[in-house]
């Protein structure tokens, strides 16, 4: 036997985890020394081996090479570490012992006390195996056998992603799977168990003679998903067993067969596909209910790029009946909107063409009177600033709206504008705006007050002149600064801009508030226009700290020269002088965030509209969010009559793992609760428990009040177990 040190002149070749371990040596009379060398295997000159050890022995007679002390072998991204490594060239067998670890290129690490492998690493045995997989998942066993370079079979195995208690390592993890045998298929990326039992806190809770799941490196794979079950007063008891189908790399499908005791089976599905130019998702369901009627719904969305400037897309939403989606827990929308569109962005111009189809789900909605919009084309363009900063704009709008019964409207609108902003020597900001708009309609069956319905052409020409002004005053106080800014607006357009022959389709919902106080035209659409002379004034004040905290307020009022029916009674704009509108925001730090918006009567300052949104505290102690809204009976809103409602949401993080929430919605006008609920969540590195109790008092046509109990048990890396119960 010869003991070598320094540079190894001749290395013999072997393999571990696909790495060739080449060791050979010539006789050198030197003592123990650290040595490193790089060699090429005969089989593949491109495969390099990096080898280092404190000591290497080469036995010519037995044809064995033994490396001791901090042995490290690296090849093709794989690294073997051990106290001792020995290679028998005659038997083509490699053994490693003492703190053995093998790191794969994907980050997977295998630990063992002893490893014996064939030279090509396709077969071998491992003692006291411990494998660290993706997401800190671990598999341990008394021993393992590797076959055909693909299958690794582990005896008396334990699988768990949960951390072991550092203070008491003997304490079982929160959950684990114990099995007599575990087979890991590297090619199929699956983990199979034989005689498996799931333990929770060391207590067996589930047994299966066979169990399989993808290994943690798999992000998507076809197979059964976690089932769920429960009951509701609408469909009775139900059971759902989803199946996930990974069709290919760009598309997949989730089938969700649901069996209900009262309404029969339901088949729901979710289809997703990505394209080079975009993506698409289709959610749908179908059932034959207890009345032997086919019911279903679809909710599809797609977005696709045409080129760098243009894209197109669609939304398709339809249901067979108004309460179908609420009944089967597919959502509770009030209207379903189907939309086909294309839009383009180029410089400062924007173009969009839409088609709309609506399905109202309220009891009073009628398909025959619901409009179809096809098309609605819009264009907005703006020039670059010219001399003195002026610029021009052009807006075009074309719309065709039809119904089975009721008013039809076909509109063509064009607006040309010019604006000149100016900043004065005192810091005052003034903007002069001039525009002219032409609206042209072909209408039929337009309802008019005290007149017969109108069919034919209607049009108007709307010139507009407006001036906007503000002047900020800033006072720096070191750690904070004040800003006081008076604001004003004046606009004029001819009276009589809303003839009865023009139907109002897109400006029905109106709300006067601090946001549109300074708008030249407070209507959001084109069918109605604000006319005559009007002016608004207001004052903004704020104090801002260096650490991001601030308090701000705004107060204002509007004046209209004409007192007519342009705005509805109770809107706040029906008189010459409008109601007062404003807001107050207080946010000194991350623990307090308060916003109050209001509209006050212009004569007695009584509240006609109040909105409060507040967030107080932190999750570590108690975070409380509160929303309050109040509409007076004469507030002039088309959507609600008198309404006073409060909603609160409280959240507390008790410790690193436990948190709780509670919420409620209360109708203060009727002194009735609308809904309330509580929830608890536990989450650590390997497990989630989410439990919620909810009660609702809403009534929707043939659906009444409901109580629900929901919970989720998520075993990370395996799946989740969920239940929903309506009492």
Give the per-residue pLDDT at 719.
Answer: 61
User: What are the pLDDT digits (tens) for 698-711?
Assistant: 777 878 787 777 77
Nearest residue to 15 via CA among 38, 45, 49, 46: 49
Mean pLDDT, to the nearest integer, of 390-415? 96
pLDDT of 542 over the 90 cut: yes
**Average pLDDT, stretch 461-481?**
93
Above 60 in pLDDT, residue 722? no
Question: If you average pLDDT over each of 196-200, 477-481, 669-673, which comes out highest?
Answer: 196-200
Among 220-224, 360-364, 636-640, the least confident range = 636-640
Whole-number pLDDT of residue 119: 63
pLDDT at 678: 93
pLDDT beyond 60 at 21:
no
Percentage with pLDDT > 70 across the chain: 90
Question: Which segments of 361-423 are extended strands (E)?
Answer: 372-382, 391-402, 408-423
Residue 633: pLDDT band with limits 50, 70, 90: low
CB 591 within 8 A of CB 622: no
CA atoms of 480 and 550, how far apart (whole Å): 9
Residue with tokens 């008396």: 156
pLDDT at 43: 44
pTM for this model (two decimals): 0.76
| Spatial distance between the Cα atoms of 370 and 447, rounded to a whole number of angstroms | 16
pLDDT digit string, tens, across residues 385-398: 998 899 999 999 99
More confident residue, 339 or 332: 339
Q: Is the pLDDT of residue 565 over 90?
A: no
Encoded tokens for 97? 């012992």
Predicted local distance difference test score (pLDDT) of residue 121: 61
C-alpha to C-alpha distance for 399 and 545, rounded to whole angstroms = 49
174 contacts 162 by C-beta, under 8 angstroms: yes
Q: Which of 52-61, 218-227, 491-500 shows the highest mean pLDDT? A: 491-500
Give the model's pLDDT for residue 26: 33
User: What is the pLDDT at residue 13?
Assistant: 31
Asked whether residue 6 carries a pLDDT value surpassing 70, the answer given is no
435 phi, psi to nearest 5 deg: -155, 160
Mean pLDDT, rounded, of the chain: 85
Contacts of 455 (CB under 8 A, 6+ apart): 443, 444, 445, 446
CA dihedral 507, 510, 513, 516 (to 10 degrees): 0
Q: For residue 704, what pLDDT is reported?
A: 79
| Predicted local confidence at residue 195, as pLDDT | 93
Rounded alpha-carbon distances, angstroms, from residue 266 to 100, 228, 525, 711: 54, 14, 42, 22
What pLDDT does 543 receive?
A: 94
Residue 165 token pair? 């208690």
Classify residue 325 as exposed, middle or buried by CB count within 10 Å of its CB (0-12, 13-18, 19+): buried
* pLDDT tens-digit series, residues 95-149: 889 999 888 776 778 899 998 877 666 788 989 988 887 777 888 899 998 887 6
How does pLDDT run across 38-50, given as a tens digit for each residue?
Answer: 444 444 444 566 7
Q: pLDDT tens digits for 650-686?
A: 999 998 899 999 999 999 888 889 889 999 999 988 8
The answer on pLDDT for 187 being more than 50 is yes
> Rounded mean pLDDT of 300-317?
96
107 vs 251, residue with greater confidence: 251
pLDDT of 721 reads: 52
Per-position DSSP letters for 610-667, written without gaps between them: EEEEEEES-TTT-EEEEEEEEE-TTS--SS-SSEEEEEEEEEEE-SSSEEEEEEEEEE
Return d(Cα 638, Cα 448) in angstroms, integer.
Answer: 19
Q: Which domains does the chain have, with CATH numbers?
A: 2-214 (2.60.450.10)
Structure confidence at residue 34 as a pLDDT band (50, 70, 90): very low
Give the span between the Cα atoms of 614 and 597, in whole angstroms: 12
Q: Report pLDDT for 644.
A: 87
Whole-Å CA distances, 542 to 371, 428, 488, 557: 46, 18, 18, 19
pLDDT score of 149: 65
Q: Over 80: is that where the pLDDT of 255 sits?
A: yes
Q: Which two tokens stand for residue 203?
A: 């207590």
Top pLDDT among 714 and 149 is at 714
Q: How confident is the model at residue 627 (pLDDT cuts 50, 70, 90)?
A: very high
Say how far apart CA 461 and CA 338 lie, in whole Å.
Answer: 33
Check residue 185 and give its pLDDT. 83
What is the per-residue pLDDT for 527? Answer: 93
- Tell me which residue has tokens 């959502």: 331
């Amino acid at each position: 036997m010869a003991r070598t040190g320094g540079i190894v002149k001749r290395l013999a070749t072997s393999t571990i985890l696909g790495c060739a371990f080449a060791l050979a040596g010539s006789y050198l009379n030197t003592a123990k020394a650290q040595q490193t060398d790089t060699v090429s295997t005969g089989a593949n000159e491109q495969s390099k081996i990096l080898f280092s050890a404190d000591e290497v022995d080469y036995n010519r007679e037995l044809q064995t090479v033994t490396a001791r002390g901090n042995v490290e072998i690296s090849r093709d991204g794989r690294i073997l570490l051990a106290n001792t490594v020995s290679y028998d060239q005659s038997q083509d067998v490699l053994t490693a012992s003492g703190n053995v670890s093998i790191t794969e290129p994907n980050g997977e690490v295998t630990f063992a006390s002893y490893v014996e492998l064939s030279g090509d690493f396709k077969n071998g045995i491992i003692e006291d195996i411990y494998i660290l997989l993706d997401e800190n998942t671990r598999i341990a066993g008394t021993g393992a056998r590797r076959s055909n370079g693909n299958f690794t079979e582990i005896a008396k195995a334990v699988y768990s992603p949960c951390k072991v208690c550092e203070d008491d390592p003997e304490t079982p993890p929160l959950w684990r799977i114990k099995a007599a045998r575990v087979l890991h298929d590297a090619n199929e990326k699956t983990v199979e168990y034989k005689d498996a039992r799931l333990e929770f806190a060391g207590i067996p809770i589930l047994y299966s003679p066979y169990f399989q799941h993808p290994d943690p490196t798999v992000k998507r794979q076809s197979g059964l998903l976690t089932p769920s079950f429960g009951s509701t007063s609408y469909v009775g008891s139900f059971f759902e067993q989803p199946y996930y189908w990974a069709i290919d790399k760009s598309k997949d499908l989730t089938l969700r067969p649901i069996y209900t005791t009262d309404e029969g089976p339901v088949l729901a599905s979710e289809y997703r596909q990505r394209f080079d130019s975009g993506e698409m998702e289709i959610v749908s369901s179908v059932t034959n209910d207890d009345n032997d009627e086919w019911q279903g719904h679809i909710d599809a969305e797609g977005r696709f790029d045409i080129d760098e400037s243009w894209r197109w897309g669609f939304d398709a939403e339809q249901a067979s009946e108004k309460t179908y989606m609420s009944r089967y827990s597919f959502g509770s929308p009030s209207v379903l909107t189907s939309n086909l569109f294309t839009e383009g962005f180029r410089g400062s111009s924007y173009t969009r063409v839409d088609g709309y189809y609506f399905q109202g789900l309220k009891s009073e909605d009628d398909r025959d009177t619901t409009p179809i919009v096809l098309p609605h084309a819009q264009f907005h363009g703006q020039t670059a600033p010219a001399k003195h900063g002026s610029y021009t704009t052009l807006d075009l709008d074309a719309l065709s709206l039809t119904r089975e019964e009721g008013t039809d409207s076909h509109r063509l609108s064009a607006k040309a504008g010019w604006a000149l902003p100016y900043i004065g020597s005192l810091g005052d900001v003034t903007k002069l705006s001039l525009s002219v708009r032409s609206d042209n309609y072909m209408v039929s069956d337009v309802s008019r007050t005290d007149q017969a319905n109108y069919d034919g052409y209607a049009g108007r020409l709307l010139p507009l002149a407006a001036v906007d002004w503000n002047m900020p005053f800033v006072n720096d106080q070191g750690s904070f600064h004040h800003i006081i800014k008076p604001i004003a607006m004046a606009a004029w357009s001819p009276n009589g801009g809303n003839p009865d022959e023009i139907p109002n389709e897109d400006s029905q919902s109106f709300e006067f508030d601090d946001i549109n106080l300074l708008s030249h035209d407070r209507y959001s659409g084109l069918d109605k226009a604000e006319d005559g002379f009007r002016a608004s004034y207001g004052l903004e004040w704020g104090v801002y700290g260096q650490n991001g905290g601030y308090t701000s307020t705004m107060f204002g009022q509007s004046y209209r020269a004409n007192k007519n029916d342009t705005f509805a009674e109770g809107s706040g704009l029906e008189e010459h002088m409008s109601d007062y509108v404003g807001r107050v925001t207080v946010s000194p730090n991350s623990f307090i965030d308060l916003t109050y918006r209001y509209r006050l009567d212009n004569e007695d300052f009584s509240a006609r509209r109040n909105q409060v949104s507040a967030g107080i505290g932190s999750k570590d102690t108690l975070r409380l969010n509160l929303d309050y809204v109040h509409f007076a009976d004469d507030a002039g809103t088309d959507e609600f009559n008198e309404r006073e409602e409060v909603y609160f949401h409280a959240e507390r993080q008790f410790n690193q793992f436990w948190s709780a929430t509670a919420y409620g919605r209360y109708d203060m006008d009727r002194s009735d609760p609308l809904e309330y609920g509580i929830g608890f969540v536990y989450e650590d590195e390997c497990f989630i428990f989410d439990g919620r109790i909810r009660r609702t008092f809403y009534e929707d046509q043939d659906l009444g009040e409901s109580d629900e109990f929901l919970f989720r048990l998520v075993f990370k890396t395996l799946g989740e177990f969920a239940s929903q119960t309506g009492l």
